[in-house]
Amino acid sequence: MFSGVIGASSIARARAAAIMVATALAAVALASPAAAAAAAPSISSISPSSGSVVGGQQVTINGSGFVGAGGACNKGYDIRFGSDAAHGYAISPSSYKVMSDSKLQARVPANFAGPVDVRVYNACGVTPVSAADKFSYQYPPNQCLSGTCQVSIESS
């Protein structure tokens, strides 16, 4: 039995996490029986594994389960370059292409500097967080040499 004080932010984070888990489970449950029997996708590497905060670079995501046996997983796609469940946002690429069961290509979206987990969602589930799914956003070399950093990000 718990005795103590729980902050509102802890409750909000727990609620957001519970909603994400319930959403992922519902997506798998609503998928076809073949998709439910197929393994969730996984990421083995991202190439290149770093790029500019401005985005726009094409990356190749290697792994397995992107299409599934007989195409069972080949729907319901979402690719996320970082997310924050507590604040309710996820950053998706402007475009992506499923090349095969083991290869995706995506256009990197703009984001804040630092490492993020890249996650692939499809009809068979979601990739687990792993060391292989990291993409590191960096400021362009001609930015942030000294003083205040400024980067212009334009929407297309």
- What type of residue is 128? P
Which residue segment(s) compose the domain that 127 sits in?
Answer: 8-138
Please report which helix (H) or strand (E) contains residue 10, including its range: helix 8-30
Residue 154 lies in a domain: no
The b/e string for 124-141 (b: 16+ C-beta within 10 A; e otherwise) is: bbbbeeeebbbbebeeee
12 close to 84: Cβ distance less than 8 angstroms: no
**What is the mean pLDDT for each group of 10 consecutive residues in the chain (156 residues)?**
44 49 48 63 97 95 95 93 82 94 96 93 95 93 63 62
Q: What is the pLDDT of residue 50?
A: 96
Span 67-100, pLDDT tens digits: 998 999 999 999 999 987 777 788 999 999 999 9
CATH of the domain at 20: 2.60.40.10
- Gap between the Cα atoms of 44 and 70, Å rounded: 22
> Is residue 147 situated within a structural domain?
no
What's the pLDDT score for residue 5?
45
Is 148 part of a structural domain of the chain?
Answer: no
Domain contains 146: no
- Residue 8 is predicted with a pLDDT of 46
pTM of the model: 0.69
Instruction: Please report the pLDDT score of residue 19 as a whole number.
Output: 47
Q: Is residue 45 part of a domain?
A: yes
- Count of domains observed in the chain: 1
